[in-house]
């Protein structure tokens, strides 16, 4: 079997092994997400030579949700620099749920850019330019990471917008106790739109591979962000990407990762690969049950833990 066939074979094996894993359920606090097919299970890997490998429902579209957060953090770092971004958003694991009121005592600054509070501020930090409104910049940035033009699922956007009071409350609280760069209503609207950007597991694997490759998209050869920015984003993903499951994840799987409530999950092997899974049933921390199981098995079987094989 060729090396390429072996990668596809491993992904197919993961799908077969974990496709029936019970437990978890699709998020439904955003009503439209509750309509997802719980049995859809896609896996994709993009290597540093730009090859993509996939298994199962790797081309099924779903909304990116929180998997967008590291990429918009990367955009903010590129536009404003680390020192300026750090005035607004911290880099400490919160140990709390993704939608918790994770604000630093004293400053009111959100704990990190991977939880909702920090992501709303990060999104709000992206300025309009004369030629391009902020959201168009966000969409174009996500598209450059994915290597193709992306669009917004308007139904998911509307669904979240109608039910997103907790995020709206967070945005107002940040304005009241800390710092919010723009009007909270505008910030949250832009954040919901960002979360509703449509991707596939193959897109997410390409995005993860771009972070793995120092900000260079290995498929399109587009330098999306600098190597320094990519490294910083991976550092925050490693410590905060799986919310209150981040420590356990780094302990067992040992790869920077980011999950989202629609069931997407990415893991990055720096200078080696980008991996992504899509499976909607989530555990209580809001992380995909089957996605985590498959990535854990891949990490264990192939010795992907960064502290083991840097």
> With left for phi above 0 and alpha for psi between -120 and 50, is residue 69 left, alpha or beta?
alpha
261 is a contact residue toward ligand GLN (CB under 6 A): yes
Residue from 135, 147, 157, 160 binding ligand GLN (CB under 6 A): 160
CB of residue 83 to ligand GLN, shortest distance in Å: 27
d(CA 165, CA 257): 27
- Give me the least distance between CB of 286 and ligand GLN, in Å please: 5
> In this chain, which of 18, 62, 98, 135 binds ligand GLN, going by CB under 6 A?
98
Annotated ligand binding at 66? The verdict is yes
Establish if 195 lies at the interface with ligand GLN (CB under 6 A): yes
Binding characters for ligand GLN, 217-236, by CB under 6 A (x = yes) = --------------------
Q: Confirm or deny that 261 is annotated as ligand binding.
A: yes
What is the rounded CA–CA span in Å between residue 290 and residue 29?
A: 20
CA distance 51 to 243: 30
Query: Is residue 116 a contact residue for ligand GLN (CB under 6 A)?
Result: yes
* Residue 191 labeled ligand binder: yes
By CB under 6 A, residue 112 contacts ligand GLN: no
List 46, 115, 182, 191, catalytic entry:
191
Ranked by CB distance to ligand GLN, the top (closest) residue is: 66
Check the CA dihedral 257-250-261-29 and report its sign: negative
Q: Which residues of 235-272 are buried (b: 16+ CB within 10 A; e: fewer)?
A: ebbbbbbbbbbbeebbeebbbbbbbbbbbbbbbbbbeb
Is 121 an active-site residue?
Answer: no
Residues paired with residue 275 on neighbouring β-strands, in sequence order: 45, 267
The yes-or-no answer on residue 243 being catalytic is: yes
- What Rg value do the Cα atoms of the chain yield, rounded? 18
In the residue annotation, 258 being an active-site residue is answered as no
Binding residues vs ligand GLN (CB under 6 A): 65-66, 98-99, 116, 160, 167, 195, 260-261, 286
Active site (catalytic) residues: 66, 69, 191, 243, 261
């Amino acid at each position: 079997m060729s090396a390429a066939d072996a990668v596809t074979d491993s992904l197919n094996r993961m799908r077969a092994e974990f496709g029936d894993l019970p437990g978890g359920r699709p998020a439904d606090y955003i009503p439209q997400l509750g309509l997802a097919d719980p049995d859809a299970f896609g896996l994709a890997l993009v290597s540093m030579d730009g090859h993509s490998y996939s298994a199962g429902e790797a081309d099924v579209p779903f909304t990116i949700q929180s998997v967008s957060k590291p990429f918009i953090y990367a955009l903010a770092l590129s536009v404003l620099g680390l020192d300026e971004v750090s005035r607004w958003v911290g880099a400490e694991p919160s140990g709390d749920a993704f939608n918790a009121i994770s604000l630093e005592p004293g400053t009111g600054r959100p704990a990190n850019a991977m939880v909702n509070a920090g992501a709303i501020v990060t999104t709000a930090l992206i300025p309009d330019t004369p030629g391009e409104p902020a959201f168009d910049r966000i969409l174009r940035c996500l598209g450059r990471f994915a290597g193709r033009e992306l669009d917004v699922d308007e139904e998911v956007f509307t669904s979240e917008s109608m039910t997103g009071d907790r995020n709206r409350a967070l945005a107002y609280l940040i304005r009241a106790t800390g710092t919010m760069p723009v009007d909270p209503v505008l910030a949250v609207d832009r954040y919901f739109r960002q979360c509703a950007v449509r991707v596939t597991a193959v897109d997410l694997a390409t995005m993860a591979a771009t972070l793995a490759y120092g900000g260079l998209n290995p498929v399109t050869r587009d330098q999306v962000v600098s190597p320094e920015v990519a490294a910083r984003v991976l550092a925050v993903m490693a410590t905060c990407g799986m919310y209150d499951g981040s420590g356990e994840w780094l302990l067992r799987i040992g790869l920077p990762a980011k999950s989202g409530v629609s069931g997407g999950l990415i893991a990055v092997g720096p200078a080696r690969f980008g991996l992504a899974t899509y499976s909607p049933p989530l555990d209580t921390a809001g992380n995909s049950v089957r996605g985590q199981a498959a990535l854990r098995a891949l990490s264990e079987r192939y010795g992907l833990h960064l502290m083991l094989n840097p």
